[in-house]
Amino acid sequence: MPISALITNIDHRKTASLIGKWQVIIDPMEHGLYDIDEVERLNGYFINQKMEARNELVEYDFDTGDSLDVPGDWNTQRQELFFYEGSIWYRRSLTYEEQADKRLFLYFGAANYHAVVFLNGEKLGEHTGGFTPFNFEITGKLKQGANFVVVKVDNTRQHSAVPTKMFDWWNYGGLTRRVLLVEVPETFIQDASIQLAKDSQDTISGWVQLNGKVAAQQITIRIPEIGIEYQLETNAQGYAKFTFTADLELWSPENPKRYTVIVTAETDTFEDEIGFRSIATRGQDILLNGEPVFLRGVSIHEEAPFRAGRAFSREDARTLLGWAKELGCNYVRLAHYPHNETMVREAERLGLMIWAEVPVYWSIDWENPDTFANAASQLTELVTRDKNRAAVILWSVANETHASNARLKFLSDLAHKTRELDPTRLVTAALFHDAPDGTTIRINDPLGEHLDVLGCNEYWGWYFGNPDLPDLLEWETRYDKPLIMSEWGGGALYGYHGDTLTRWSEEYQEELYKRQTKMFRRIPFLRGLTPWILMDFLSPRRPLPYFQDWYNRKGLVSNRGERKKAFAVLQAFYQDLAQQ
**Domains of the chain by residue range:** 10-185, 188-276, 281-578
Element (DSSP H or E) covering residue 288: strand 285-288
Strand-pairing partners, residue 492, are: 504
The three-state (H, E, C) secondary structure of 67-118, written as one string: EEEECCCCCCCCHHHCCCCCEEEEEEEEECCCCCCEEEEEEECCCECEEEEE
Average pLDDT, the chain: 96
Q: Which residues of 66-102 are buried (b: 16+ CB within 10 A; e: fewer)?
A: eebebbbbbbbbeeebeebeebbbbbbeeeeebeeee
Provide the pLDDT for residue 96: 84
The pLDDT of residue 35 is above 60 = yes
CA–CA distances in Å: residue 566 to residues 31, 208, 509, 569 = 50, 47, 6, 5
> Who has greater pLDDT, 5 or 13?
13
- Which CATH homologous superfamily contains domain 10-185? Galactose-binding domain-like (2.60.120.260)
- Given pLDDT bands bounded at 50, 70 and 90, which one contains residue 580? confident
The CA distance from 323 to 310, in Å, is 18
Provide the pLDDT for residue 101. 87
pLDDT exceeds 70 at position 356: yes
pLDDT at 438: 84
Measure the CA–CA gap between 410 and 433, rounded to whole angstroms: 19
pTM of the model: 0.96
Beta carbons within 8 Å of 524's beta carbon, 6+ residues apart: 284
Per-residue pLDDT at 98: 73
- Residue 418's H or E segment, with its range, is helix 405-421
State the average pLDDT over residues 498-514: 98
Tell me the per-residue pLDDT of 188-237, one tens digit each, with 9 for 90 and over. 999 999 999 999 999 999 999 999 999 999 999 999 999 999 999 999 99
Mean pLDDT confidence for 374-398: 98
- Are 152 and 87 spatial neighbours (Cβ–Cβ below 8 Å)? yes
The pLDDT tens digits for 49-86 are 998 888 888 899 999 989 999 999 999 999 999 999 99
pLDDT for res 519: 97
Q: 551-552 and 279-282 as β-strands: parallel, antiparallel, unpaired?
A: unpaired
Where residue 434 falls among pLDDT bands split at 50, 70, 90?
confident
Please compute Rg for the chain using Cα positions: 25
Peptide bond into 113 cis (omega under 30): yes
What confidence score (pLDDT) does residue 144 get? Answer: 85
Q: Convert the pLDDT of each residue in 392-414 to its tens digit.
A: 999 999 999 999 999 999 999 99
Residue 176's identity, in one-letter code, is: T
List, for residues 107-138, the tens digit of each pLDDT value: 999 999 999 999 999 999 999 999 999 999 99
pLDDT at 372: 98
**CATH number of 188-276, picked from 3.30.300.20, 3.20.20.70, 2.60.40.10, 3.40.50.2000:** 2.60.40.10
Confidence of residue 28 (pLDDT cuts 50, 70, 90): very high
Q: What pLDDT is recorded for position 3?
A: 56
- DSSP state for residue 236 in the 8-state scheme: T
Spatial separation of the C-alpha atoms in residues 446 and 360, rounded to whole Å: 17
491 pLDDT above the threshold of 90:
yes
pLDDT at 99 over 80: no
* Helices 506-520, 565-578: inter-axial angle, 10-degree rounding: 20
Backbone angles phi, psi at 80, to 5 degrees: -70, -10
- pLDDT at position 456 is 97
Whole-number pLDDT of residue 2: 54
CATH for the stretch 281-578: 3.20.20.80
Q: How does pLDDT run across 158-195, given as a tens digit for each residue?
A: 999 999 999 999 999 999 999 999 999 999 999 999 99
Q: What whole-number percentage of the chain has pLDDT above 70?
A: 99
